[in-house]
């Protein structure tokens, strides 16, 4: 455990600045690590020097991503986390036996995130409470809340009717959910706790005429929120029902921007009839507020096909090819020529590039092996438009269904559910399973934002996508880049802007030694930058295939056309999705509809708060919004505005205090020219505000011309702003309903020379500091100190 990182919740330690002083290197280390943890980056020691007695003479701490990456002599090098980040702090021992900050650079050339700090090596040895605070997004965050232990004895007779068990526990009647002893009580407790923990938890129960449970569906709040982002292609996984597990569990799954599975709902089914699946789809669509997916992948089942056609008729339906090949082993294993038939079936499904090619391969399979009367193969051929890849190239599938022989589909709860797992056991570890899945997504976010995969080529298009795609999806693109070496391009027709190419690919077979050649037709439009390959790789996965990339290379196109760089696989996909929401709101006529709409908007606000990694700020905003809405001076047409208020700061001397309010650009001089005049103007405004402690009328915190005030990141100061109604005097509200919001102030504070500061302090003795919290003081030209922006 690192003792430097323990601090009280909500403590504002300030920011590093030139002029701070510290008693020893441990105070420097503690201060900078606390600051780094609050901002969201790791700390490393760049260089240091100590005397023989152990006194620190020189210390330089830097961001953990500082330094240049080391190039390894390997074809596939490891991902590098260093970006030559310039952020650092340097202290040196002066004659007064104190360590003085001589350089404070706050600029980073990479994203920083407090929510991802727990993955950095600097914070992996925290104590238990500190880890919980970091897991929630900051040092002042609350620990993870455990499931509620509230009593359930107040539930009415409805719960007893829904979950009442028979004494024999057999449930042999068809159409009733098969539950083991203790399952019904576990299900009731699970629903009660999840609903008490989050009101957005959704559950619905299907009862027969006698009041017995037939089917159950539920979706937690996170699943419902994630469906808003990942609703382009979803999968209904019924593998546990097909394989006759003790728990008949079905799951709705999506795929996130890392290519990982996302849970979108769970169900328990009594049978596999069309009526059961119709009820399930209706419950799921109702849970998702009627927002239908664009494509859905299911198992081969007549009940599912009927339910999809009835409930979601306009959605593109696909039968999972991997599940069909698994069923083929059961349906065809009794035939004498099973191996040859299986190989011919896979060749027709996986290798056919045109409809005619598939029809020829299928006809050969049936005729040569005498399978004209095989019922399963006949039913498979009748629904060929739903499972053969060549018929499904008109929709985007987000890479969710296998199209290659070596690909497999892994259930979401793989490793947690087996044939004998009971419902009670599953519900007991349900929350733990989801937390582990969410942690994997958070780890993938961290890898994407803090590490960079090494290039495998010199193509600019690889560098282009490395800056925007997530790690997992960029690796898939790199695999296609590497495969270009096995592709040979030939121009077939070049009349006009549209050209046709044949790409001959050398494909390695399963043993890795033998190869075969296959030709793919690619069409390219030079004017529209449109490219289409017969393999349909882009339509399936959203990643340009090796054949298309080979043609772009042949045509000397350096960049991937913008229409083939999907937002779906970008690092900031969810942020882009939030910003792309419609800004116009509706005004319902009655209170019930208004409540529902406000609830939906608040859930969107929650999601935005989680994405922005500002958990504590969101909590403060919620409290102030409540006060703002309940104030009698506001009305329905009130237009809130952001106004600045600079609080008073009492000048004192503590360890880590600024001896002079000096802001430097990487240790160099201050602003000059127009920026200096602008800073002086800002200083006069702030001076008046600090003396009166009120908001000046008509003054907005951000100037009209923001660019000239931006300057260096190191020169920005956080200030407090208030949200007040438009046209209303802020003093009329008092401090109770004003809304403080932290943001980076755009003004630069004018600097003073070091000499003036030293002359100011030369006449008086400076007390030995005790406190550790750094503050800022400014000194007037006559040597007296006064309040300044904090």
Write out pLDDT tens, residues 669-702: 444 444 444 444 444 444 443 333 333 333 333 3
Say if 201 falls within a structural domain: yes
Q: Which residues pair with 778 in a beta bridge?
A: 786
Q: What pLDDT is attached to residue 361?
A: 92
Q: What pLDDT is attached to residue 477?
A: 94
Say if 489 falls within a structural domain: yes
Q: What pLDDT is attached to residue 227?
A: 92
For the segment 9-23, the average pLDDT, to the nearest whole number, is 76
Q: How confident is the model at residue 118 (pLDDT cuts 50, 70, 90)?
A: low
Residues 552, 616 within the same domain: no
Question: What letter does residue 192 receive in the DSSP assignment?
Answer: H
Residues 6+ positions from 603 with CB-CB distance below 8 Å: 200, 221, 225
DSSP-assigned letters across all residues of 488-518: EEEEEE--TTEEEEEEEEEEE-TTSS-EEEE
**d(C-alpha 297, C-alpha 387), whole Å:** 9
Residues 473, 434 within the same domain: no
**216 sits in which H/E element:** strand 213-219
Whether 115 contacts 616, CB under 8 Å: no
Q: Look at residue 483 and give its three-state secondary structure.
A: helix
Whether 138 contacts 64, CB under 8 Å: no
Compare 326 and 156 and report the one with higher pLDDT: 326
Residues 547, 601 within the same domain: no
Q: How confident is the model at residue 169 (pLDDT cuts 50, 70, 90)?
A: very low
Residues 190, 283 within the same domain: yes
**d(C-alpha 467, C-alpha 482), whole Å:** 18
pLDDT in tens, 580-630: 666 667 777 777 777 777 887 787 778 777 766 677 788 888 888 888 787
Neighbours of 467 (CB within 10 A): 10
Q: Is the pLDDT of residue 762 over 50?
A: no
Query: Using CA of residue 380, residue 383, residue 385, residue 387, what is the dihedral sign?
Result: negative
Residues 6+ positions from 242 with CB-CB distance below 8 Å: 299
- Count of domains in the chain? 5
Residues 283, 197 within the same domain: yes
Residues 561, 594 within the same domain: no
* Gap between the terminal Cα atoms of the chain: 32
Neighbours of 371 (CB within 10 A): 16
**d(C-alpha 64, C-alpha 68), whole Å:** 11
**d(C-alpha 101, C-alpha 28), whole Å:** 9
Q: What pLDDT is attached to residue 359?
A: 93
Provide the percentage of residues in the chain whose pLDDT is more than 90: 28
Task: Quote the domain boundaries for residue 429.
Answer: 176-312+421-440
Nearest to 788 by CA among 702, 719, 696: 719
Whether 745 contacts 699, CB under 8 Å: no
Say if 561 falls within a structural domain: yes
pLDDT in tens, 172-196: 344 688 888 888 899 999 999 998 8
Q: What pLDDT is attached to residue 752?
A: 45
Structure tokens at 698: 């008509």
Alpha carbon of 20 to those of 37, 98, 531, 780: distances in Å?
A: 19, 10, 59, 19
Residues 548, 612 within the same domain: no
Q: Is the pLDDT of residue 95 over 70?
A: yes
Compare 511 and 31 and report the one with higher pLDDT: 31
Whether 573 contacts 229, CB under 8 Å: yes
Q: What pLDDT is attached to residue 256?
A: 92
Nearest to 776 by CA among 688, 663, 617: 663
Residues in the chain: 790
Whether 100 contacts 17, CB under 8 Å: no
Say if 281 falls within a structural domain: yes
Nearest to 532 by CA among 514, 512, 552: 552
**551 sits in which H/E element:** helix 546-554
**d(C-alpha 754, C-alpha 605), whole Å:** 46
Q: What pLDDT is attached to residue 129?
A: 55
Cα angle for residues 605, 607, 610 (degrees, 5° grid): 110
Count Cβ atoms within 10 A of the Cβ of residue 53 and give its class: 0-12 exposed, 13-18 middle, 19 or more buried.
Answer: exposed
Structure tokens at 376: 């399963």
Nearest to 477 by CA among 463, 495, 498: 463
Structure tokens at 660: 């002079």
Q: What pLDDT is attached to residue 351?
A: 87
Residues 90, 217 within the same domain: no
Whether 504 contacts 490, CB under 8 Å: yes
Say if 675 falls within a structural domain: no
Cα angle for residues 588, 590, 592 (degrees, 5° grid): 100
Structure tokens at 345: 């079936």
Buried b (16+ CB within 10 A) or exposed e, 153-181: eeeeeebeebbebeeeeebeeeebbbbbe
Q: What pLDDT is attached to residue 596?
A: 76
Q: What pLDDT is attached to residue 142?
A: 36
Residues 201, 286 within the same domain: yes
Q: How confident is the model at residue 277 (pLDDT cuts 50, 70, 90)?
A: very high
Q: What pLDDT is attached to residue 501?
A: 95
Nearest to 565 by CA among 582, 556, 552, 578: 552
Query: Using CA of residue 627, residue 628, residue 630, residue 632, what is the dihedral sign?
Result: positive
Displacement of CA 487 from its chain's centroid (Å): 35
Residue in this structure with the two tokens 């993870």, named with its chain if needed:
144
For the segment 362-366, the average pLDDT, to the nearest whole number, is 92
Residue in this structure with the two tokens 């799921």, named with its chain if needed:
284
Q: How confident is the model at residue 297 (pLDDT cuts 50, 70, 90)?
A: very high
Q: Which residues pair with 452 in a beta bridge?
A: 80
Residues 6+ positions from 269 with CB-CB distance below 8 Å: 177, 215, 241, 248, 250, 276, 277, 280
- Domain boundary (568, 599, 618) is at 568
What dihedral angle (degrees, nearest 10) is formed by the CA atoms of 44, 50, 56, 57?
-100
Say if 129 falls within a structural domain: no
For the segment 563-591, the average pLDDT, to the nearest whole number, is 79
Structure tokens at 715: 């020169």
- Domain boundary (123, 138, 160) is at 123
For the segment 707-717, the average pLDDT, to the nearest whole number, is 35
Whether 526 contacts 555, CB under 8 Å: yes
Residues 200, 257 within the same domain: yes
Nearest to 112 by CA among 42, 15, 199: 42
Q: How confident is the model at residue 53 (pLDDT cuts 50, 70, 90)?
A: confident
Q: Look at residue 198 and give its three-state secondary structure.
A: coil
Q: Is the pLDDT of residue 559 over 70?
A: yes
Query: Using CA of residue 316, residue 364, residue 326, residue 175, what is the dihedral sign?
Result: positive
- Domain boundary (594, 626, 658) is at 626
- HSE, CB side, 13 Å, CA atoms: give it for residue 609: 16
Residues 368, 430 within the same domain: no
For the segment 265-269, the average pLDDT, to the nearest whole number, is 94
Say if 774 falls within a structural domain: no
Nearest to 136 by CA among 116, 111, 109, 156: 116
Say if 689 falls within a structural domain: no
Residues 6+ positions from 604 with CB-CB distance below 8 Å: 578, 581
**d(C-alpha 485, C-alpha 680), whole Å:** 61
Residues 559, 590 within the same domain: no
Mean pLDDT of the chain, nearest integer: 74
Q: What pLDDT is attached to residue 583?
A: 61
Neighbours of 276 (CB within 10 A): 23
Count Cβ atoms within 10 A of the Cβ of residue 579 and give its class: 0-12 exposed, 13-18 middle, 19 or more buried.
Answer: exposed
pLDDT in tens, 443-495: 888 888 888 888 888 899 999 999 899 999 999 999 999 999 999 999 998 88
Q: What pLDDT is attached to residue 507?
A: 80
For the segment 115-126, the average pLDDT, to the nearest whole number, is 63
Q: How confident is the model at residue 633 (pLDDT cuts 50, 70, 90)?
A: confident
Specify the range with the lowest mean pLDDT, choosing from 327-336, 423-432, 498-507.
327-336
Specify the range with the lowest mean pLDDT, choosing from 327-331, 567-571, 643-647.
643-647
């Amino acid at each position: 455990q690192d003792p430097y990182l323990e601090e009280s919740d909500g403590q504002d330690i300030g920011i590093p600045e030139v002029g701070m002083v510290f008693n020893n290197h441990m105070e420097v280390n503690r201060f900078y690590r606390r600051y780094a943890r609050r901002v969201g980056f790791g700390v490393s020691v760049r260089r240091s020097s100590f005397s023989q007695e152990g006194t620190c003479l020189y210390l330089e701490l830097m961001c953990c991503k500082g330094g240049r990456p080391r190039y390894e002599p390997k074809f596939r090098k490891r991902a590098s986390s260093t970006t030559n980040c310039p952020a650092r702090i340097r202290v040196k021992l002066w004659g007064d036996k104190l360590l003085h900050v001589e350089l404070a650079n706050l600029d980073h050339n990479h994203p920083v995130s407090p929510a991802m700090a727990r993955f950095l090596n600097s914070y992996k040895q925290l104590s238990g409470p500190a880890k919980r605070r970091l897991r929630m997004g900051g040092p002042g965050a609350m620990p993870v809340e455990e499931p509620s232990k509230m009593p359930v004895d107040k539930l009415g007779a409805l719960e007893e009717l829904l979950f009442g068990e028979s004494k024999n526990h057999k449930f042999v009647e068809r159409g009733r959910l098969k539950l083991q002893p203790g399952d019904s009580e576990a299900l009731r407790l699970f629903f009660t706790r999840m609903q008490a923990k989050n009101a957005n938890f959704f559950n619905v129960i299907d009862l027969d005429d006698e009041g017995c449970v037939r089917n159950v569906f539920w979706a937690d709040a996170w699943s419902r929120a994630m469906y808003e982002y990942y609703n382009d292609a979803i999968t209904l996984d019924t593998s546990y029902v097909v394989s006759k597990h003790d728990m008949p569990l079905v799951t709705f799954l999506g795929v996130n921007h890392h290519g990982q599975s996302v849970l979108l709902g769970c169900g328990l089914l009594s049978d596999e009839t069309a009526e059961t699946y119709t009820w399930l789809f209706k419950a799921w669509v109702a849970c998702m507020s009627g927002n239908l997916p664009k494509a859905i992948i299911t198992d081969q089942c007549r009940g599912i096909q009927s339910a999809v056609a009835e409930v979601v008729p306009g959605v593109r339906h696909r039968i999972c090819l991997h599940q069909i090949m698994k069923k083929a082993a059961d349906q065809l294993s009794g035939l004498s020529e099973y191996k040859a038939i299986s190989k011919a079936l896979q060749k027709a499904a996986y290798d056919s590039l045109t409809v005619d090619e598939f029809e020829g391969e299928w006809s050969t399979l049936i005729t040569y092996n005498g399978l004209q009367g095989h019922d399963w193969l006949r039913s498979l051929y009748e629904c060929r438009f739903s499972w053969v890849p060549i018929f499904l190239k008109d929709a985007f599938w987000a890479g969710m269904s296998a199209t290659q022989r070596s690909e497999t589909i892994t259930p979401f709860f793989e490793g947690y559910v087996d044939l004998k797992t009971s419902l009670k056991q599953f519900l007991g570890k349900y929350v733990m399973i989801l937390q582990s899945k969410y942690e994997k997504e958070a780890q993938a976010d961290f890898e994407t934002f803090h590490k960079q995969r090494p290039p495998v080529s010199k193509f600019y298009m690889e560098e282009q996508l490395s800056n925007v795609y997530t790690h997992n999806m960029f690796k898939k693109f790199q695999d296609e880049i590497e495969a270009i070496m096995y592709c040979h391009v030939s121009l077939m027709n070049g009349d006009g802007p549209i050209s046709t190419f044949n790409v001959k690919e050398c494909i390695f077979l399963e043993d890795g030694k033998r190869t075969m050649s296959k030709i793919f037709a690619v069409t390219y439009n030079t004017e529209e930058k449109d490219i289409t390959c017969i393999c349909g790789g882009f339509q399936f996965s959203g990643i340009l295939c090796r054949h298309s990339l080979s043609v772009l290379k042949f045509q000397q196109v350096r960049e991937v056309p913008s229409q083939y760089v999907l937002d779906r696989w970008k690092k900031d996909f969810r942020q882009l999705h939030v910003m792309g929401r419609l800004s116009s709101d509706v005004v319902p006529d009655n209170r019930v509809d208004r409540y529902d709409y406000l609830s939906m908007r608040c859930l969107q606000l929650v999601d935005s708060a989680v994405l922005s990694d500002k958990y504590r700020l969101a909590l403060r905003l919620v409290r102030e919004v409540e006060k703002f809405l309940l104030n009698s001076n506001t009305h329905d047409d009130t237009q809130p505005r952001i106004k600045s208020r600079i609080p008073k700061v009492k000048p004192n001397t503590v360890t880590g205090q600024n001896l002079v309010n000096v802001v430097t650009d990487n240790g160099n001089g201050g602003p000059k020219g127009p920026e200096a005049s602008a800073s002086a103007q800002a200083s006069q405004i702030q001076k008046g505000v600090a003396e009166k402690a009120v908001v000046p009328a008509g003054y907005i915190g951000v100037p009209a011309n923001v660019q000239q005030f931006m300057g260096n990141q190191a020169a920005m100061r956080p200030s407090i702003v208030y949200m007040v109604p438009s046209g209303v005097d802020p003093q009329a509200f008092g401090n109770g309903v004003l809304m403080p919001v932290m943001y980076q102030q755009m003004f630069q504070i004018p600097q003073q020379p070091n000499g003036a500061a030293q002359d100011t302090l030369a006449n008086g003795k400076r007390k030995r500091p005790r406190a550790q919290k750094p503050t800022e003081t400014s000194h007037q030209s006559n040597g007296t100190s006064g309040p300044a922006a904090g």
